[in-house]
Amino acid sequence: MVDSANAFTIDQRAALTAKLDSFDIETSTQIQIYTTTNLQGYDIVDFAQRLGEGWGVGKEGFDNGIVIVYLPKTDSTNGEVTIQTGYGIEPLIPDATCKRIIEHEMIPCFKKDSVYEGFKRAVDVCISLTKGDFKADDYGNNSIGGFWGWVLDHLVLSLVLGMVGVWIVIILVIIIIAKCTSGGGGSYYIGTSGSSSGSSHRSHSGGSHRSYGGGHFGGGGARGRW
């Protein structure tokens, strides 16, 4: 991570760097955050593409790199941010999804001067998408927008399904009572069965920081202004 614009405190830089390094070690996917007050005459998208390609963000052969470049707002200029993805990341985080991440996770926080929170939320979504915790279509299709909208929609679905289950049980109980009181004399047993499933993940530990490995970029991503 390069914070040339001094957008983060020392603790915030340390927290983001630790998160990115851990994700790199666990999955080999690399996310480069770059803040600057000078794009050296380049458009921010071109700047990010050149940075990602020149530094080789991501692993060679996998092209699993993500570059996020941030230009802070000033009294005379708009703020800008872009998320650019390597070839291997584009199917997992399409251009439209990059745009949603910027509009739903980052810009609302930037407008409140919560730069770190905007980056943290965006990085969390990128990590979840690349790890397969949810798909790009799931992230985009919700009424609220953003990662938490996706979570809320799934909670609502769970509650609806739960209520349906409760009514089914009530109806069954009413049927059983009716059968018994009508002199049928039959006995009924309602059994329930459940299954539990767990997810496993491999963790890796290492004391050295991983260097960039030759990833390539081809124009995937999006930008935003505020």
Question: 199, 31 in Cβ contact below 8 A?
Answer: no
Average pLDDT over residues 147-165: 56
Structure confidence at residue 218 (pLDDT): 76
Structure confidence at residue 141 (pLDDT): 60
What is the spatial distance between Cα 150 and Cα 214, in angstroms, rounded to a whole number?
A: 34
The pair of three-digit structure tokens given for residue 226, joined into one six-digit string = 């505020």
Structural domain of residue 35, as residue ranges?
A: 2-145+211-225
Q: Is residue 201 part of a domain?
A: no
What is the spatial distance between Cα 189 and Cα 214, in angstroms, rounded to a whole number?
A: 63
Average pLDDT over residues 27-55: 95
Q: What is the pLDDT of residues 68-119, one digit of tens each?
A: 999 999 999 999 999 999 999 999 999 999 999 999 999 999 999 999 999 9
Q: Is residue 27 part of a domain?
A: yes
Q: Is residue 206 part of a domain?
A: no
Average pLDDT over residues 164-172: 67
Structure confidence at residue 135 (pLDDT): 85
More confident residue, 167 or 102: 102
Q: What is the pLDDT of residues 121-134, one digit of tens each?
A: 999 999 999 998 88
Listing from the earlier edge strand, what are the strands of the sheet with 2-3? 2-3, 30-35, 65-71, 80-86, 217-225
Question: 33, 68 in Cβ contact below 8 A?
Answer: yes
167 pLDDT band, cuts 50/70/90, is low
Total domains present in the chain: 1
139 pLDDT band, cuts 50/70/90, is confident
Beta bridge partners of 34: 2, 69
CATH of the domain at 28: 3.10.310.50
Structure confidence at residue 118 (pLDDT): 98
Q: Is residue 154 part of a domain?
A: no
Q: Parallel, antiparallel, or unpaired: how do β-strands 65-71 and 80-86 relate?
A: antiparallel
Longest dimension (CA), the chain: 89
The pair of three-digit structure tokens given for residue 141, joined into one six-digit string = 């299709």
Q: Over 60: is that where the pLDDT of 148 sits?
A: no
Q: Is residue 186 part of a domain?
A: no
